[in-house]
Chains A and B, each alone.
Chain A
Amino acid sequence: MTEFNELSRQFQISDLKEQRADLHFFHASKEHAVAVLTSLKEKYGYTHLVFFTVVDHLEKNEFHLTYMLHNYEKHHDMGVVVKIARENVQMESIHHLWPAAATYQQEIREMYGVEFPGSPGLYENFALEGWEDIPPMRRDFDTKEYSDKTYYPRPGRESHDPREYMKENLYPGEAETW
């Protein structure tokens, strides 16, 4: 992976992983992430921002910001993962590289509470309106509990863990052999 080797001489990047021949992931430090993205875009032809999202790792107390870039000449995808701590998260904005990124950042601010100073329209509503709880896509937000206490669930709906339910009703008394 020549791009990775060249970039690793300048920037703090690590853990290159090949998922497929046309898809690689690597980790970048928070300070160098935007610089890495800029050089991927300007120097290596990764001109298309496919998506930008966040994965919440609650047990490690980390957000994994995932930028996915695509190179149209080589038809290759590059995923850049940035690990940041979950408290008072701030990240540099990339709307100057791709104007469409402002929408992604607006959504992430609303769904995870990650701040991107300077991003246009950051504090406007995206999908929610009048939301007062913690950002809903965080792992510590329980959507069922919230729904039960807010939306008057109609009585009579039962839900079972399929594994337990099948064991009790379809194969009673059988030891678990699988």
Chain B
Amino acid sequence: MVKEKENSKFPPLVDGKSQYDLTSGKYLRVWQGPQHPGITGNMSLELTICGDEIIDCKTHVGYLHRGFEKLMERRKYIQCFPVVCRICVPEPDFNEYLFAACTEELAGIQIPERAEWIRTLNLEMARLTSFLMWIGGQAGSFGMGTIGQWTVTLRDYMLDLFEELTGGRIYHMYMLPGGVRADFPPGWINKLLDTLKTVEKTLDDVELAMMHNAVFKMRAKGLGIITPDMVDKYGITGPNARAAGVARDIRKDSPYLVYDKLDFEIVTGTKSDAYGRCEVRIKEMYQSIDLIRQIVEKMPKEGPFFTKLPNVLHWRIPAGHTYKRAECTRGEYGFYVQSDGSDKPRRTYVRGPSYTHAVALMEHLAIRTNIADTAGLMVSLHTYPPEIER
């Protein structure tokens, strides 16, 4: 509880929540979103403001609720794959990988080693792609449109690679139980390395233009500070927690796929404000580029990438339940799958990192920030609404 001055213009805080009376005329309630350019995706914030400072914030989600978990109860395991990647739009590969991994674990399938390397490569590419999208949003929300123009085009070059590899620009449906769907096309690896060079070069420019920009520094520093003791309380994962100095990375802590064979360090920051989170994410982009290069170098060049499955239309998975997690760009992404021995999953639960970041954490951090910084704060938490309500 914060001690208030007698003549403060803010209402008193009790347990982090402002106590105010809307009828007094001193406070105003405004909605930001869902139809608002400064909101990430389709969600809305109900803000109570005093002057231009936010004193209360309530997140409203559910505009993108499609009932995936219900739809998957009606579909056979293999029919779930076209659906499952659509849960998180900018970064669908983690859904594919996790659902495939859960299915494999429950069915007791071992995938070939080369498939694991290709999956890791795919996930790291997805991470880079998603970060390129995010950095444009972060710069745009502080009024720097140019950086978005650069990075979204770079993201498009990455999507071209995805398209050549998987056939799809946004939704890939590439990782199926048993491995991956296709091998690299001839010459694809060279194209990938060339694109990485372009990305790295532009990223240097982005860092120069954004992180050293005086306006960006002034607005982003001190905005939405996450302290280390909030990390467990709110279930914060990923770069948001790492920027606060909490060195937790699932890739390192409980390695999945081939991350234990790769050489990398957990990126941490010293202060998790919008600026610090930005720094951590840019370092992770460089790290991701480095990881892709390592994978290309270390992976077996020849070998099977798919293991033979039983007829998937008649495939019954033995009863059981499991939980798998992966480190996506925003934090811990997880799938809980329960099978009852039939050909359809009984229950699939998707744990998206934005679930806690965008609702409980956002409501806490928004208090006493400026209304003009809401968009920047929102983007700096890197939330994607479709994974909240699914």
Contact = CB atoms under 8 A, between A and B. Distances in A.
A141 B233 CA distance: 35
A75 interface: yes
A115 interface: no
A20 interface: yes
A132 B322 CA distance: 33
A144 B310 CA distance: 29
Contacts of B69: 137
A34 B69 CA distance: 26
B26 interface: no
A107 to B, nearest CB: 8
B382 to A, nearest CB: 17
B234 A100 contact: yes
Interface stretch (B133-141, B186-194, B332-340, B365-373): B332-340
B55 to A, nearest CB: 18
Contact of B74 (A51, A53, A129, A144): A144
Nearest to B360: A100
Contact of B323 (A23, A99, A129, A178): A23
Contacts of B232: 47-48
Nearest to B346: A55
A102 B349 contact: no
A61 interface: no
Contacts of A116: none
B349 A51 contact: yes
Contact of A75 (B254, B338, B355, B359): B254
Of the candidates B71, B310, B322, the one having the most CB atoms from chain A within 10 angstroms of its own CB is B322
A85 interface: no
Contact of B313 (A99, A100, A166): A166
Of the candidates A75, A127, A143, A178, the one having the most CB atoms from chain B within 10 angstroms of its own CB is A127
Contact of A72 (B248, B351, B360): B248
B9 interface: no
A115 B325 CA distance: 28
B46 to A, nearest CB: 11
Interface of A is mostly: mixed
Contacts of B181: none
B345 to A, nearest CB: 11
Contacts of A51: 334, 336, 349, 351
Given A102-B360, A129-B62, A53 B235 contact: no
Contact of B359 (A49, A98, A103): A103
B321 interface: yes
A137 B62 contact: no
Contacts of A178: 310-311, 314
Interface string A111-155: 000000000000001111100000011010101100000000000
B70 interface: yes
B338 A137 contact: no
A168 B245 CA distance: 61
Contacts of A3: none
Contacts of A72: 248, 253
B233 to A, nearest CB: 6
Given A102-B360, A162-B79, A127 B235 contact: no
Contacts of B356: 100, 103
A157 interface: no
Contacts of B67: 136-137, 143
A75 B310 CA distance: 34
A127 B61 contact: yes
B389 interface: yes
B219 interface: no
A68 to B, nearest CB: 6
B347 interface: yes
B253 A98 contact: no
A162 B338 contact: no
A77 B314 CA distance: 32
B320 interface: yes
B36 interface: no
A43 interface: no
B65 interface: yes
Given A25-B321, A49-B235, A50-B334, 7 more contacts: A50-B351, A53-B336, A68-B323, A129-B62, A136-B67, A141-B70, A166-B313
Interface of A: 19-20, 22-23, 25, 47-51, 53, 55-56, 66, 68, 72, 75, 77, 79, 98-100, 102-103, 125-129, 136-137, 139, 141, 143-144, 162-163, 166, 178
